[in-house]
């Protein structure tokens, strides 16, 4: 049995907490939102984010960050990506040196172009970071549906430790020594999912979706390899696997936001209606900046930026994508 601190009680943090509790670990869940903690303690269920998924009697829910962090074998950081730096800053005074911090959110910080483990290490230099990501909707993990995911760290012993914590009969965990590539794949696929949703909102069909997914993984791979990730990472669960699940499912908040924009809703209207953090929005500008840094072209991601932040109509963006100069598929 391990003692785990879960920092963040949204749908993903709650689903992973249930999984860890089911694996026999002692789980303490923290949220900065008092009403959320009160609800979890009263109902043993996240009524808003994961309704119908009962939570174990042994799980502890608290608003006391020290209680969630002290004397733990591992910390899981599950707050949305825009809050990673602030939360890491709060954590750094509490956790001990060499504490293992498992990052399960997805994103790139716009100002620094750091992935989330980069942000964590920037705030807590002495911690040991591990990435856990892959094609995994909280709604399905919470209900015990078979899922495969990847634990990644430069230190394979850390990857294997996290693999052992999470793996069970319905949750298969592979290991990787390419955490940076994993994080880039996880962040960039959210931007492509916005594009897929926009196409759905415009009323286009399977041909369009297949083109966006295939050319989307090409863009992710081109940038990812230029930035130092491994090609096989983008061909695996944290690349094409995560992209497929995010572009195809209504569980995906990025796809849902894209659908609303394709249907004519404004950026603000779409974000308000989804009513959750749409992490692809926060990664989109950073992706374009990284493309400039490494000298690569990302036509789909560039058009998503134009739609989100510069008022371009989705139909015009699609026309520009389709009307680019002809080229070979692979060069």
The pLDDT tens digits of the residues spanning 68-79 come to 999 999 999 999
Ordered structural domains, the chain, with CATH: 3-177 (3.40.50.720), 183-322 (1.10.1040.10)
pTM summary value: 0.95
Residue 138 above 80 pLDDT? Answer: yes
The pLDDT tens digits of the residues spanning 247-303 come to 999 899 999 999 999 999 998 999 999 988 898 999 999 999 999 999 999 999 999
Reported in sequence order, the residue ranges of the chain that DSSP labels E, i.e. its strands, are: 3-7, 26-30, 60-62, 74-77, 100-103, 128-133, 147-152, 171-176
**CA–CA gap between residue 82 and residue 65 (Å, rounded):** 19
The pLDDT tens digits of the residues spanning 194-215 come to 999 999 999 999 999 999 999 9
CB 107, CB 282: distance < 8 Å: yes
The pLDDT tens digits of the residues spanning 36-67 come to 999 999 999 999 999 999 999 999 999 999 99
What's the pLDDT band for 12 if we cut at 50, 70, 90?
A: very high
CB 106, CB 10: distance < 8 Å: no
Non-local CB neighbours of 318 within 8 Å, separated by 6+ positions: 199, 202, 303
34 is catalytic: no
- Given 49, 72, 106, 189, the catalytic residue: 189
Q: Across all residues in the chain, what is the average pLDDT?
A: 96
Overall average pLDDT of the 158-172 stretch: 98
């Amino acid at each position: 049995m391990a003692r785990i601190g879960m920092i963040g009680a949204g749908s993903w943090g709650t689903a992973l907490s249930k999984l860890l509790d089911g694996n026999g670990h002692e789980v303490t869940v923290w949220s900065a939102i008092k009403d959320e903690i009160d609800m979890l303690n009263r109902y043993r269920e996240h009524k808003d984010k994961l309704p119908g998924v009962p939570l174990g009697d042994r799980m502890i829910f608290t608003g006391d960050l020290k209680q969630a962090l002290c004397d733990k074998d591992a910390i899981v950081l599950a707050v949305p990506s825009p809050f990673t730096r602030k939360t890491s800053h709060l954590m750094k005074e509490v956790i001990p040196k060499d504490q293992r911090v498992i990052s399960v959110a997805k994103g790139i910080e716009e100002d620094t172009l750091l992935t989330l483990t980069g942000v964590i290490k920037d705030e807590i230099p002495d911690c040991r970071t591990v990435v856990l990501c892959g094609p995994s909707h909280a709604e399905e993990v919470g209900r015990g549906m078979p899922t495969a995911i990847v634990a990644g760290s430069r230190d394979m012993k850390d990857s294997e430790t996290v693999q052992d914590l999470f793996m069970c009969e319905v949750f298969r965990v592979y290991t990787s020594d390419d955490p940076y590539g994993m994080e880039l794949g996880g962040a960039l696929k959210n931007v492509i999912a916005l594009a897929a949703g926009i196409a759905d909102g415009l009323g286009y069909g399977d041909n369009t979706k297949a083109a966006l997914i295939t050319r989307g993984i090409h863009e992710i791979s081109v940038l990812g390899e230029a930035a130092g990730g491994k090609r096989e990472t983008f061909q695996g669960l944290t690349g094409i696997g995560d992209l497929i699940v995010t572009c195809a499912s209504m569980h995906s908040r990025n796809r849902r936001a894209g659908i609303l924009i394709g249907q004519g809703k404004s950026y603000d209207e779409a974000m308000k209606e989804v009513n959750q953090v749409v992490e692809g929005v926060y990664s989109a500008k950073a992706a374009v900046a990284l493309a400039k840094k490494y000298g690569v072209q990302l036509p789909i991601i560039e058009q998503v930026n134009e739609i989100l932040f510069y008022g371009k109509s989705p139909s015009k963006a699609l026309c520009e994508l389709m009307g680019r100069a002809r080229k070979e598929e692979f060069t």
